[in-house]
Structure formats: structure tokens, C-alpha cells
Amino acid sequence: MENTEPDPQNGITDEYDIKQFGLFTVITARSFVKNDTVASVHFAGQYDNNATCLYLTDFGNSLSYSGSVKLVGEKKLSSEDIRALYIDSKPNLLTLSGGVSKSLNYLPEINNRLEDAFQQNSGVNSNLANVEKINDSLYFNSFFNETKNINISGSVLSNVNIKGNIVLYSADSVYIKNTVHLEDVIIRAPIIVFEDGFKGTVQALATKRLQIGKNSEFLYPSGVTIFNDTLDESTIIIGENTKILGNIILFGFPDRALDNNSIDIDKGGYIVGDIYCKGKLMLKSDVFGSVYTNKLSHKTAVSNYENCLADVEINSKKRPSYFIGVQVFNEKEEKYGLIKRLL
């Protein structure tokens, strides 16, 4: 906790504290004058002005496309040549805006602090029965309090509203039904599955599999992340017509395990934010932000097309100006802003 000297003109003393809550930074501020205290808590993060729309690692295979594909922003590819593929007899239309430069044979280094989000949070171990219940329906823990770590191992979570400074964790797997409403909480488990139609604001942190059902909505600011530091398989699966307002990140393993790790995003939805995929990305929904991946793949009922995009838009200029996300890369110059007032 940092304190400032009292202002000589008004006698106000300020106090602030900065800590990590999963992928986000939490800033707590208090101002004291005489017997009065004014306090606030915010999520904070880094402004995302990245002009890159697509970074595809140079493994010697050029990018191809099918159908209507739109790429707006800077592109880093193995070659300026983008080949047309004729799949299912559909007409092709490629719309490009922004320059093309050569990529490297590896992705930019990810922020090494992201791994910390997967460690046991500081705070107190508890259970829902010991969490304050508001209006007999909402379990709530203030960000002025210590974080409450709630063990939900092996359970199906249903018919519950949970908000605030809470980490729901499991040693194995957890299934979240669409009758659950989560706001600003963290879920951490090896395997996390969200039922079709889930809606909430959540940081989902898994190590093996993270599956989001169709017609779901992760509100801003959310995060969908797998950290896998083994050679085993891991995957993020996002169902059709699903909206994610936040970053999607898959990282942690050695390069020799690239083919064991993937992100599969079905059609009809959109992502507002950045995708960082160490492994293979199957993308069928639009992205209003940046995409970084080692490999792309497009599958049909009969064939698999490597390094192919089909009927999608990746547009870094459509990332909203207010969007403040997770700091994905180790950048020297950091411009931070407030994401959301929590209290």
C-alpha cells in the first residue's frame, strides 16, 4: 500500500494499492480528509493500439484463402503471395488493407507474467456458505476484502450468482451451466466447460481443455486462456454464434509440441480482442483485433486445408478505442488505463 503526503491546500491524503487478479491488474484507491474516506477499485490494463491484424509464423507455407476473406491491418506472413483455393465451388473475394512484411519462424515472446495467473492466488480458502449473500441470491466478495478461493472440484455449477473478488478452482474439471451468472470472477481448473448459452464476465484459466458452448457471450472484460507447460494435448473450443469480448490465449509448451495444441473457433460469432495461439488455429468467426498463430487450418467435411482462411474478417481497426486488454507481450512502453470500476 502506497501513501502520499497530505495536500497542503486541502489536507487530502491519498492511498493506493496495486495487485494482480488473474490476468488483470486491480487498483484500489482511497482518499482521506478529516473523518471522511472516498474509495474506489478498478480493473486496469494496457491500451491495445497494435496495428497487426495477422501474424502467421514462417514455416515455409504461404497463406491461402477461400470465399470472402478480409484482412485489415498490418500482416506478417511467410510470403506476400496469398493463394486462392476453390472450396465447395464458392466464389472468392480477398480484401486487403495494410502492408505485408515477412514473419519469423516463431511467435513474438509472450508476457512472462501471464503464467503467474495460474498460480494459487493469495487470499483465504473458503466455501460459498462463507461468502456474503446479498438479497438472498448473489454471492459477493468485495475487492476491498481478501480474495476468497472456493474449491468446486468435480462439481457441476448451476443456479447461482457469483460476483467480485472470488476464485473458483478445481483440481480436475468443472462444468458451468447457463443458469450460472458470473461477474468479475476467476475460474481456474485443468478442464473447464461452459454450457451452451452461458453469459457472464469471467477469466477462464485452464491447463488442458477449455470449451465454450454455442450461443454464449463472454462480456467485457473477459479472458479465455490455457497455459500448458507439458507435451500433452490442450485445446480451446468455442462453439458457433459465440461472442468473446476479451483475449484468447494458448501458450506455455515447447515448440516440438505445437501440433498437440489448438484453438477451434466455430462460425457465426466474433472476437473483440486478440488471439495468441501457440499451435494451430481453426478460425471461422470474425476477429476485431489481432491474431498471432503458428499455423492455420480450415476443415470441411471431406478435407483439411493447412494455412487457409475461409469466409472470415480479421480487422485490427475495428478494435474499439476504449478496449483495454491483457498485456500479451513484453513491451517496454506501456500505456495503462482503467477498464472497469468494481466498487
Residue type, 212: I
Cell 456474503, residue located = 132
- More confident: 113 or 85: 85
Q: Does some domain include residue 126?
A: yes
The string of pLDDT tens digits covering residues 225-249 is 999 999 999 999 999 999 999 999 9
Q: Which one-letter amino acid corresponds to residue 78?
A: S
pLDDT digits (tens, 9 = 90+) for 299-323: 988 899 999 999 999 999 999 988 9
Q: What is the pLDDT of residues 201-231, one digit of tens each?
A: 999 999 999 999 999 999 999 999 999 999 9
Average pLDDT over residues 84-101: 94
Amino acid letter, residue 157 = L
**Would 334 be classed as within a structural domain?**
no
Q: How many domains does the chain have?
A: 1
53-62, 112-121, 137-146, 266-275: least confidently modelled range: 112-121
Residue 8 confidence (pLDDT) above 70: no
Q: Is 244 among the domain residues?
A: yes
The whole domain housing 149 covers: 52-319
Please say whether the beta carbons of 11 and 33 come within 8 A. yes
Q: pTM (2 decimals)?
A: 0.94
Of 227 and 16, the one with more pLDDT: 227
Beta-carbon count within 10 A of 132 CB: 12
Q: Which long-range contacts (CB under 8 A, 24 or more apart) does 185-189 make?
A: 186/21, 186/22, 186/121, 188/118, 189/153
**38 occurs within a structural domain:** no
Q: State the average pLDDT for the chain.
A: 92
Domain assignment present for 312: yes
**Distance from C-alpha of 147 to C-alpha of 164, rounded to nearest angstrom:** 9
Residue 46 lies in a domain: no
Within-domain flag for 256? yes
Contacts of 8 (CB under 8 A, 6+ apart): none
- Number of C-alpha atoms within 13 angstroms, CB side, residue 81? 6
- Does residue 261 or residue 335 have the better pLDDT? 261
C-alpha cell at 194: 461452459
Query: Within 13 Å of residue 95, how many CA atoms lie on the same side as its CB?
Result: 10
Q: Is 173 within a domain? A: yes
pLDDT tens per residue across span 28-73: 988 876 777 788 999 998 888 899 999 999 999 999 999 999 999 9
Percent of the chain with pLDDT over 70: 94
Q: Is the pLDDT of residue 2 over 80?
A: no
Q: Centre a 10 Å sphere on the Cβ of residue 155 and count the other Cβ atoms it contains.
A: 14
138-180: per-residue pLDDT in tens? 999 999 999 999 999 777 999 999 999 999 999 999 999 999 9
